[in-house]
A and B are shown apart, each in its own frame.
Chain A
Amino acid sequence: MSEAVSEPAVSRGKTARAALRLLREPLGAFALVLVVGVIAAAVFADVLASADPSKIAPRDRFMAPGMEHLLGTDQLGRDLFSRVLFGGRIALTVALGSTGVSLLIGVALGLVAGYGPRWLDNLLILLFDAIKSFPTVMLALAFVTLFGPSLTAVVVVVVIVNVPGYARIIRTQTIALKSAEFVTAAQSMGAGTARILRVHILPNVIGPILILASMDIPVVIAIEAGMSFLGLGVRPPTPSWGAILNDGFANIRETVWIVFAGGMPIILTTLGFTFLGEALRDIFDPRLKAR
């Protein structure tokens, strides 16, 4: 039992060292600044926004960036800076929310598949493979056709797409640990399945999956933006980076600022989360750093 008691202290020490190493890596520090900046902008959108993101003023359309409108205005005269801030809130809500839910479900299913009976493992693997065989766009189109476009639709599609990946990784690692000495010891001391999974196996398999999840966040942001760009995601008038990009595409010959306003946050956020994930991976698994 001392192992379980001492584990959090070890984790705290590791986490602190990892954080310091992250800040010492230029790429990691840059990524952290980007990610924290994007999250802060989304969280404090109400305070930072200079206007109501949905307020329509057609005669102010296509204004170039200036003091009144930091990123200019779109075809309906809406303030793009405010729309980008509130769009970030949508993007991060979808990305963090759906990745979190995917993680929970994926980890749970992966543990069950890896530690449970063979027939259940086979059944779950069949399910994961069946889901993975669907191209994401086709799955999204089918889902939206059946249930209509909405923010919920985006989240559900992302969860369905991501769960099998997480579950498979957790399953593989669980199978590898199932016969480890410390697990056998716990079993012989009378520990139940739930306790073994929660206390002995989960802490040893969760690290890599968290790194993978952080690297999936930009992918999810791109999926949300893509679906909204195609009119399959967030509904008007809710601001979304994909919808802003779509407005920019439709009016590209009038002004380039809308595309810039919709595209830059996607690029910066994607870069931020990707570099952060890579930096974390380099810290936790230095052998992969040179790849």
Chain B
Amino acid sequence: MSQTPQHGLTRRSLLASAGAFGAASTLSPRMAWSQDGKILKIRSYSDIQILDPSFRLSTPEGDIMTAIFAGLANYTNGDEWNWRPVAVETLEQLDDLTIAFKLRDKIGFTDGFGQMTAEDVKFSIERVADPANESPYAGDWDALKEVEVKDTLSGIIHLKNKFVPLWSTTLPTATCCILSKAAVEKEGGKLGTKPVAQSGPYIMTEWTPKQRTILKRNPDWAYEPGGYEEIQIFPIEDPAAAEIGFEAGDLDHTWTAVSSISRLKENPPPGGVMLEKPSLAYVWMGINQDVPPFDNKQIRRAVQHAIDRETVVEAAYFGAASTSTGIIAPGLPGHREAVLYDYDPDKARELLAAEGATDLSVTLDILNQSERLAAAQVIQANLADVGIKCEIKQNDSGTFWTLGAKEGDYWNKLQLIMGRFSMQPDPSWATVWFTPEQIGVWNWERFNSQDFAELHAQGLIESDPVKRDEIYRAMQDLMDESGCYVFLTHEVTGVLHRDTVIPGLKPNGESLLPDFKPA
């Protein structure tokens, strides 16, 4: 009895047909372009974990917070680092120790929390500075004495001492977002991922974790409106995936992988405009000095000598970025010309042999991104070359950004880590994360130097550019001497946007969401 199906279609012929169809379908990829000028779709490199300015974890969170919580000031759109008032009518430095402010009179909080007042300014600023709150951004208000309320809308910020970075990295950042005192107290003293008492040009109306965040124009905002009625923000960790999203028409703006910059400048996708911005960010490999075998300084030094930084950066960024000499980028006070301990594999082997360190096996934790993986694989090969076996551990962003936290238990297993911190235009914003107070907060190498802390404090009050330059150079020398750091690059920032969009960007390419406009 024949078992051939009546329709004559066998499983093999079906498979063959499906294969042919699949191959044919690749010849006509879907083309879809954003056609709506009212909605802006942009990518952020990480999702929201907290929407409290005092405890923010990433730049994309800060970008959103400055859009939904009016701050005293914000950076201006363009290629120069300047600030502009946001919640204030006036913001004026009267002398080295006093700054007077007067709030705009039509700024209100959502959710029925009333008008923004000077009392809210006092609460918000002192909350960041108060050591009891353990804000990682307390350093931004290191010099704060108090905020004096003069009347409903006016007040004076009093400083204990001169504070040089005030106008460059404190006032125009998310640290100076003004929160409703009543709302924060009602929430138990700390905000989570659901924003309350929003006050900026936009309000957040939806957050679907790992999928998207939606901001809409705040109907009660009486000043310069945001350029788009709605901004949809998609958290996409891998820039390569974001580039595909852009080309598919699903995004209007994205940071690109640094390794894609050359290709996209030469061949931008249809309707796309590629910009390259100098980055202040810094990428490094950290070595946890409290965990064996790296509790031995000579082994840390061997690792510094083992890493071929040029090749690491070349492999990760395809020649688009240069190696760095520290955490302070060119153009800022304190930028160095060279690192103290560079690639010298023979020296590395010599140090390891002197310490009797054979058959070392270590782990390198990285963020799950193609550039990081490429860099890590070169580091792995470099370490293997001097006899250290290195296992690469890839982490998603949610896991990665908690690895060295003192609240967890992984910090005492963490050995090598590849980090990248974004940066504001003052060297103190780079050094603040590596002070002893930051151990287990952002200082995951557990680098513990009182000399470094004292120099950091000096840098905050020193206004002589030459002396400041010396201070920050000396601080990076201390980092190098500790053996805890292998400085890799400052990257460059690749920005890809639709030609129907005028992006709102800081000089380093970071987003100013309310400043995006239709072309």
Q: Are A287 and B378 in contact (CB under 8 A)?
A: no
On whether the beta carbons of A290 and B381 are closer than 8 Å, the reply is no
Assess whether A156 is interfacial by the CB under 8 Å rule.
Answer: no
Contacts of A251 in B (CB 8 A): 240, 370
The docked-state distance in angstroms from the alpha carbon of A291 to that of B15 is: 13
| Contact pick for B4, options A61, A253, A290, CB 8 Å | A290
Question: Of residues 217 to 259 in A, which have CB atoms within 8 Å of B's CB atoms?
Answer: 231, 235-237, 250-254
Residue A37 is within 8 A (CB to CB) of chain B in the complex:
no
Return chain A residues, CB-CB under 8 Å to B392.
Answer: 235-236
Residues of A within 8 A of B240 (CB): 250-251
Give the CA-CA distance A231 to B10 in the complex, in Å. 36
Among B441-489, those with CB < 8 Å from A are none
CA distance A250 to B11 in the complex (A): 34
Contact in complex: A61, B380 (CB < 8 Å) = no
Chain B residue numbers with a CB within 8 Å of A237 are 377, 380-381
* Partner-contacting stretch, out of A8-16, A51-59, A81-89, A97-105: A51-59
Q: Is the CB of A76 within 8 A of B374?
A: yes
Give the nearest-CB partner of B257 in chain A. Answer: A250
| Docked CA distance A252–B498 (Å) | 21
A75 at the interface (CB under 8 A from B): yes
Residues of A within 8 Å of B315, CB to CB, are: 56, 58, 61, 75-77
User: Does B105 lie at the interface of the complex (its beta carbon under 8 Å from any beta carbon of A)?
Assistant: no
Are B260 and A236 in contact, CB atoms less than 8 angstroms apart?
Answer: no
Are the CB atoms of A235 and B391 closer together than 8 Å?
yes
Scan A264-291; emit 1 where CB is below 8 A from any B CB, else 0.
0000000000000000000000011011
Contact B3 A290 (CB under 8 A): yes
User: By CB atoms of chain B within 10 A, which of A58, A59, A290 has the most?
Assistant: A58
| Chain B residues in 8 Å Cβ range of A287 | 3
A2 to B296, CA, bound (A): 73
> In the bound complex, what is the Cα–Cα distance between A254 and B392 (angstroms)?
25
B230 within 8 A of A: no
**A56 and B381 contact, Cβ closer than 8 Å, known pairs A76-B315, A235-B391, A236-B392:** yes
B314:A236 contact, CB within 8 angstroms:
no
Contact B10 A61 (CB under 8 A): no
| Chain A residues, Cβ within 8 Å of B377 | 56, 76, 236-237
CA distance A9 to B391 in the complex (A): 52
Q: Is the CB of B318 within 8 A of A61?
A: yes
Measured CB to CB, the nearest residue on chain B to A74 is: B374
What chain A residues lie within 8 Å of B515 (beta carbons)?
none
Bound-complex Cα distance A75 to B4 (A): 49
Question: For this complex, into which size category does the number of interface residues on chain B fall?
Answer: 20 to 34
Q: B276 to chain A: which residues have CB within 8 Å?
A: none
Complex Cα gap A59–B260 (Å): 15
Pick the contact of B311 from A58, A148, A235 — CB < 8 Å?
Answer: A58
Given A231-B368, A231-B394, A253-B260, decide whether A54 and B3 contact each other with a Cβ distance below 8 A: no
Q: Contacts A56-B315, A237-B381, A290-B4 given: A253-B243 contact, CB under 8 Å? A: yes
In angstroms, Cα B392 to Cα A234, docked, is: 11
- Contact partner, A290, options B2, B380, B394, Cβ 8 Å: B2
In the complex, A253→B247 CA distance in Å?
A: 11
Q: How far is the CB of B333 from chain A (nearest CB, A)?
A: 33
Q: How far is the CA of A76 from the CA of B378 in the complex (A)?
A: 8
- Cβ of A254 and Cβ of B311 under 8 Å apart? no
Decide: A254 near B263, CB < 8 A? Known: A54-B381, A59-B314, A236-B373.
yes
**Chain A residue nearest to B369 in the complex (CB):** A250
B238 contact from A54, A250, A252, Cβ within 8 A? A250
Contact A75 B3 (CB under 8 A): no
List chain A residues, Cβ under 8 A from B381: 54, 56, 237
Within B413-440, which residues are at the interface with A (CB < 8 Å)?
Answer: none
The CA-CA distance from A236 to B368 in the complex, in Å, is: 13
Q: Which of A250, A254, A290 has the most CB of B within 10 A?
A: A250
Contacts of A56 in B (CB 8 A): 311, 315, 377-378, 381
CB neighbours (8 Å) of A148 from chain B are 393
Closest to B315 in A: A58
Contacts of A290 in B (CB 8 A): 2-4, 10
Q: What separation, in Å, do the CA atoms of A261 and B40 have in the docked complex?
A: 38
- Chain A residues contacting B394 (CB-CB under 8 Å) are 231
Q: Restricting to B363-385, which residues have a CB under 8 Å from any CB of A?
A: 368, 370, 373-374, 376-378, 380-381
Q: Is A250 in contact with B263, judged by CB distance below 8 angstroms?
A: no
What chain A residues lie within 8 Å of B259 (beta carbons)? Answer: 75
Q: Within 8 Å CB of B373, what residues of A?
A: 236
Whole-angstrom CA separation of A75 from B369 in the bound complex: 14
Q: Say how far B399's CB is from chain A's closest CB, in angstroms.
A: 10
B306 to chain A, nearest CB (A): 14
Contact of A253 among B5, B263, B376 (CB under 8 A): B263
Set of chain B residues within 8 Å of A75, measured between Cβ atoms? 259, 315, 318, 370, 374
Q: Given the complex of chains A and B, what is the CA–CA distance between A235 and B393 in angstroms?
A: 9
Hey, which chain B residues are within 8 Å of A59, CB to CB?
314
> Which of B10, B238, B243, B380 is within 8 Å of A291, CB to CB?
B10
Task: Give the distance to chain B from A278, nearest Cβ to Cβ, in Å.
Answer: 8
Tell me if B3 and A58 are in contact (CB < 8 A): no
Query: In the complex, A76→B373 CA distance in Å?
Result: 11
Q: Which residues of A contact B318 (CB under 8 A)?
A: 58, 61, 75
Chain B proximity of A16: nearest CB distance (Å): 27
- Tell me which residues across on chain B come within 8 A of A236, comparing CB atoms: 373, 376-377, 380, 392
Which residues of B have CB within 8 Å of A252? 244
Cβ-closest chain B residue relative to A247: B370
Question: B1's closest neighbor in chain A, by CB?
Answer: A287
Nearest residue (CB) in A for B378 is A56
**Interfacial chain A residues near B393, Cβ < 8 Å:** 148
Complex: A254 Cα to B370 Cα, angstroms: 13
Chain B residue contacts of A235, Cβ below 8 A: 391-392
B244 neighbours in A (Cβ, 8 Å): 252
- Give Cα A225 to B315, complex, Å: 24
Instruction: With A56-B311, A58-B315, A61-B318 as known contacts, state yes or no: A291 contacts B260, CB within 8 Å.
Output: no
A254 to B4, CA, bound (A): 47
Nearest chain B CB to A221's CB is how many angstroms away? 17
| CB within 8 Å of A: which B159-185 residues | none
Which residues of chain B from 300 to 358 have a CB within 8 Å of any chain A CB? Answer: 311, 314-315, 318
CB pair A250–B378 under 8 Å, yes or no, is no
CA distance A237 to B381 in the complex (A): 8
Complex Cα gap A59–B376 (Å):
17
Give, as a whole number of angstroms, the nearest-CB distance from B502 to chain A: 26
- Taking a contact as CB atoms under 8 Å apart, the answer to whether A250 and B3 are in contact is no
- Tell me if B314 and A291 are in contact (CB < 8 A): no
CA distance A251 to B241 in the complex (A): 10
**Contacting residues of chain B (239-275) with chain A, CB-CB under 8 angstroms:** 240, 243-244, 259-260, 263
Listed by A's residue number, 14 A-B pairs whose Cβ atoms lie within 8 Å are: A61-B315, A75-B315, A75-B318, A75-B370, A75-B374, A76-B378, A148-B393, A236-B376, A236-B377, A237-B381, A251-B370, A254-B263, A290-B2, A290-B4
Closest 4 pairs between A and B when the two form their complex, measured CB to CB = A58-B315, A250-B370, A58-B314, A290-B4
- Chain A interfacial positions (CB closer than 8 Å to B): 54, 56, 58-59, 61, 75-77, 148, 231, 235-237, 250-254, 287-288, 290-291
- A61-B318, A290-B10, A291-B3 known; 11 new pairs, CB 8 Å cut-off, are A54-B381, A56-B311, A56-B378, A58-B318, A58-B378, A231-B394, A237-B380, A253-B260, A290-B2, A290-B4, A291-B10
